[in-house]
Amino acid sequence: MDQCFVKMIEAPGEKEQIVRTVLEALTDWFEVTETREAYIRDSRELICFAAFAESRPVGFLCLKETGRETVELAVMGVLKEYHRHGVGKALFKAAKSHAIRLGYALMQVKTVAMGYYADYDETNRFYQAMGFMELEVIPAVWGDENPCQIYVMPLNDSASLLRLILSRRSYRGGYKPDAVPREHLTAIMEAGLAAPSGCNKQTTSLIAVDDPETLSKLRAVIDPPVAETAPAVICVLTRRIIAYRDRCFATQDYAAAIENMLLAITALGYRSCWYEGHITDADRIGDKMAKILGVPDGYELVCVLPVGIAEEEAAQPKKRAFEERAWFNRFPG
Ligand SMILES: Cc1cc2nc3c(=O)[nH]c(=O)nc-3n(C[C@H](O)[C@H](O)[C@H](O)COP(=O)(O)O)c2cc1C
């Protein structure tokens, strides 16, 4: 988007003026005067972003709330000579980020379905490229000659991540026998390896075990038994090396990796539990497991995470109230 910039427009009069300038140059799309004037008038009340080349408006995008958590890309336009210059994309990016910040969960947009008019086919391709998904075509909206394609896009990635974090629970019940696909185990381990590590020493390594024979060898040394029916486990290894001076961050490193994996496991619909105390206590079960897995010297097996589909609900441990553990600006009292 050479020399163009996007900004949010607050003043109703300015919104109206920009929308008019752009729409009156786009009569291939906004042919009917009455409809065009309605878009211009309505823009005064909508969230409006405009793209400028120097000080000249070359595009705009308006968002309209359609429900408590839903927003519509009500109308957008980019001057024809600025098509394929990234202007639409920049407008959309700014509007989407704004909608996410406002807490909207879903964005919709309507256009004439693909295959009727070349200009609208271009619009469809643009929305698809932005990540919109086809929801439904409803001819009744604008009539049979202009079947209305409704696109939707989930926006609440961050909201669902927060919900996921709050919904994670340690699960200690039985597991269904369904195997965990390798791509899921890989995705979980990738999440673990993506965690931060002190001085980027990357002291954590992982071994996923889904081979029934190896699993039964591991189970034979886990006493008392835990997660006996889990179809897979991820073993967490650490190297207790110095990060700088006398500081070793290996424990912090693997703790961050484990939490990432617990969240990934939860996101994929599986359950797990952080089994560390159990296997690193005086009886050193972790060392026995490491031996079975051929782990060389220099690595310590510190934790095992079962992975599988839960047979029952996880227990809900009582957590202390927010106010008892978190504060703003200073320790209370
Ligand atoms: C360092 C660490 C070691 C843990 N070791 C064990 C363990 O050996 N056995 C077990 O059942 N749970 C273990 N847990 C899980 C905790 O008991 C659990 O996180 C806690 O009870 C809170 O429950 P929640 O995870 O559902 O929020 C461990 C957790 C951490 C962070």
CA distance 85 to 105: 29
Q: For the whole model, what pTM was predicted? A: 0.67
Question: Domain 170-307, what fold?
Answer: NADH Oxidase (3.40.109)
> Does residue 164 have a pLDDT over 90?
no
> In testing the pocket of ligand 1, which one of 262, 276, 325 has its CB within 8 Å of the most ligand atoms?
276
Q: Which atom of ligand 1 is nearest to the CA of 226?
A: 11
The reply to whether CATH 3.40.630.30 applies to domain 4-156 is yes
Is the distance from CB of 276 to CB of 233 less than 8 angstroms? no
Residue 169 alpha carbon, nearest atom of ligand 1: 26
The model's confidence at residue 217, banded by pLDDT at 50, 70 and 90, is very high
Q: Rounded to an integer, what distance in angstroms lies between the CA atom of residue 92 and that of residue 132?
A: 11
Protein residue with least CA distance to atom 4, ligand 1: 276
Confidence band (pLDDT; 50, 70, 90) for 1? Answer: low
What's the 171 CA to ligand 1 centre distance in angstroms? 9
SS3 (DSSP) at 228: coil
- 92: its two tokens: 């959309």
In which band, very low, low, confident or very high, does the pLDDT at 2 lie, cut at 50, 70 and 90? low
| pLDDT tens-digit map of 166-188 | 989 999 999 999 999 999 999 99
The packing angle between helices 182-193 and 250-267, to 10°, is 140
Best residue among 165, 170, 238, 313 to mutate for probing ligand 1, ranked by most atoms within 8 Å of CB: 170
Mean pLDDT value across residues 233-238: 98
- What's the confidence (pLDDT) of residue 28? 85
Closest atom of ligand 1 relative to the 171 alpha carbon = 26
pLDDT at 327 over 90: yes
Tens digit of each residue's pLDDT (9 = 90 or more) over 36-51: 999 999 999 999 999 9
Residue extent(s) of CATH 3.40.109.10 domains in the chain: 170-307
111-120, 154-163, 259-268: least confidently modelled range: 154-163
